[in-house]
Amino acid sequence: MKLSIESGSIMDRYGTEEGARLIKAAGFEAVDYTGANSTFCYDGGVFALPEKEFLDYFEKEGRKIEATGLELGQMHCPANSPPDRITPEQLTYFTAAVKRSLRAAAVMGIPIAVVHPVIPVGWQENAQISYDITDRLCFEYAELAEQLGITVALENMPGDDTNVPYSYDAQFLNLLQKLKSPSFGICLDTGHANWALPKGKLPDMARTLVPHLACVHLHDNGGTWDNHFTPFGGTIDWNALCVALGEGGYSGNINLEVHPAHGASDGLFFKTLEYQCAVAAELRDKIIAAQK
């Protein structure tokens, strides 16, 4: 149960090497690498490179991070802002990019790669389209993940209610029953769930899904938007959630997906990282205590 944080804005601000060094210096032991997501676009960039150059790029990224002593615990594959609202014209390129990022994860030695469900334009009128596309792709992703020796994890989505595809536990249980793949699991995003679910229901969802959790995205909000607050900064009952995770036997990394102090000085930015690491350590202690 390593203490982990999303690399995102930290490495965007400082670069891969210095960002990783600061994450390690703040006390974190692992990182959720988001470079495959942040570099993805439909009109060029890293994902337009030939395959060897593409994989070489990410292999070098991995070596830079590992040189600091950080563990590469998980990766976030390309995703649009949830709900995705991807167009049919984008879907083929997007799907290929996700599969390329799974290969990048394997090259980097990252054991878990997180993907979003595909929620296309028009999903409000016919949500079944989203389930059909996502289920088909999850079969394909799981098959590739098994070949690569990694795990792919599907993340729950936010929204104003649980009409959003793949936003609550029963939808995942149905997919898991169909897939039955040892290379497929779930990423529980606490902020997404706190927005989508009725108030106080997040621990129940965690308790149901914990046997299938490959990893987590831990962050907080007020229940009405995807704010990515540091835990204890919103309305999530973290004591109840940690009990649910601990009693269910969760043993993965304690991974925060939080916004750092964007406009702060370098000194304050680092102090914020240290505080966030202390929060992650407290969550870990609560989960471990519930395991006894």
Task: Show the domain range for 247.
Answer: 3-291
Residue 279 sits in a domain whose CATH number is: 3.20.20.150
Shortest CA distance to 39 belongs to which of 13, 92, 77, 72? 77
Tally the domains of the chain. Answer: 1
What global pTM score does this model have?
Answer: 0.97
**Length, in residues, of the chain:** 292
pLDDT of residue 82: 75
Q: What is the pLDDT of residues 82-107, one digit of tens each?
A: 777 788 889 999 999 999 999 999 99
Four-residue CA torsion sign, 76, 77, 79, 82: negative
pLDDT band at 257 (very low <50, low <70, confident <90, very high): very high
Q: How far apart are CA 43 and CA 226, in angstroms?
A: 27
Q: pLDDT tens for residues 140-163?
A: 999 999 999 999 999 999 988 778
CA separation for the pair 102, 150 (Å, rounded): 8
Question: Tokens in use for 50?
Answer: 């030939």
* CB distance 194 to 223 below 8 Å: yes
pLDDT digits (tens, 9 = 90+) for 32-48: 999 999 999 988 899 99
* Per-residue pLDDT, 7: 95
Phi, psi of 85 (to 5 degrees): 55, 45
Average pLDDT over residues 127-134: 93
